[in-house]
Amino acid sequence: MEIPAHDMLATQNHIGHLYIWGVSHYRDVFEESPIHTTMFCTEITDVTGNLTSTGPVNIQTASCNHGNCYDTECSAK
**Structure confidence at residue 60 (pLDDT):** 95
Q: Which domain holds residue 43?
A: 5-76
Q: Are 67 and 33 in contact (CB under 8 A)?
A: no
**Structure confidence at residue 77 (pLDDT):** 60
As a three-state string, the secondary structure of 47-63 is: EEECCCCCCCEEEEEEE
Predicted TM-score (pTM) of this structure: 0.75
10-residue averages of pLDDT along the chain (77 residues): 88 94 92 92 93 87 93 80
**Structure confidence at residue 53 (pLDDT):** 80
CA distances from 36 to 32, 44, 60, 70 (A): 12, 26, 28, 7
